[in-house]
Amino acid sequence: MKKRNIFLLFFIILLIYACTGSSSRQNKKDPSGNADNNKIENIKYENYCNGRFGFCIDYPANTLFPQGESANGDGQVFMSKNAETILSVYRDYRDNLNPKESYDISQAFDEDTWTDASNESKRVVTYKHLGKDYYVVSGYNDGKIFYQKTILTKDGLATALIEYSETEKDFYDKVAEQIFKTFKWHEHGWIQA
């Protein structure tokens, strides 16, 4: 009888361990905590338009959450629940640092694709493309995947940048494709400050 009770107790402990172990394995697969939302078919995109500079982008509203526009109205940050994935969309002022010098999109492209192996930067560019009025750059930055698109607007440069962990690569690669297809400047969205 004692052996039977010990066996039963051992079986119950093993069952409890197996049940809790499977939930921790699920959390390892989905570190963002968005198990239901991290399915491409469940993504609901909303549009963010910057009223000051007129650039717009779609973002996954049930996965990345707006953190509030900056105080001067030049952009917005969107974060996942665990703050591991960050999408930043902003007016990029590099072209405005020295108004006496001309600055074009190719200069910004050169700055963003150049890597100095002698410094402490952990940015590795794996893809780059320069278009007429935009460019894209992607790769790894400090252990995270990044994808950046910079566009030329009436007022200068605007940049959208997403960074996410490699564990979420399959999901966010597809999300990033949708996000960056929609990142554009809209003249009618621009409101004079």
Question: How far apart, in whole angstroms, are the C-alpha atoms of residue 142 and residue 111?
Answer: 18
Look up the pTM and report it.
Answer: 0.75
Instruction: Tell me the percentage of the chain whose pLDDT exceeds 70.
Output: 73
Collapsing DSSP states into helix, strand and coil, what is residue 143? coil
Residue 18 above 70 pLDDT?
no
pLDDT at residue number 117 = 62
Does the domain at residues 40-189 carry the CATH identifier 3.40.1000.10?
A: yes
For residues 186 and 49, the answer to whether their CB atoms sit within 8 Å is: yes
Domain ranges of the chain: 1-30, 40-189
Statement: residue 3 has pLDDT above 50: no
Predicted pLDDT at 154? 84
**Pairwise CA distance, residues 87 & 65, whole Å:** 9
Tell me how far apart the alpha carbons of residues 34 and 47 are, in angstroms, rounded to a whole number: 21
For residue 7, pLDDT beyond 50 = no
Distance (Å) of CA 4 to CA 8, 17, 28, 182: 6, 20, 36, 65
Distances (CA, A) of 79 to 86, 98, 169: 5, 32, 16
Residue 193's pLDDT is: 34
User: What's the average model confidence in pLDDT over 80-98?
Assistant: 91
Q: Average pLDDT in the 84-88 region?
A: 98
Q: What is the pLDDT of residues 90-137, one digit of tens each?
A: 999 987 777 777 778 899 999 899 866 655 668 899 999 999 999 999
Token couple for 8: 């039963």
| 34-62: pLDDT as tens digits | 544 557 889 999 999 999 999 999 999 99
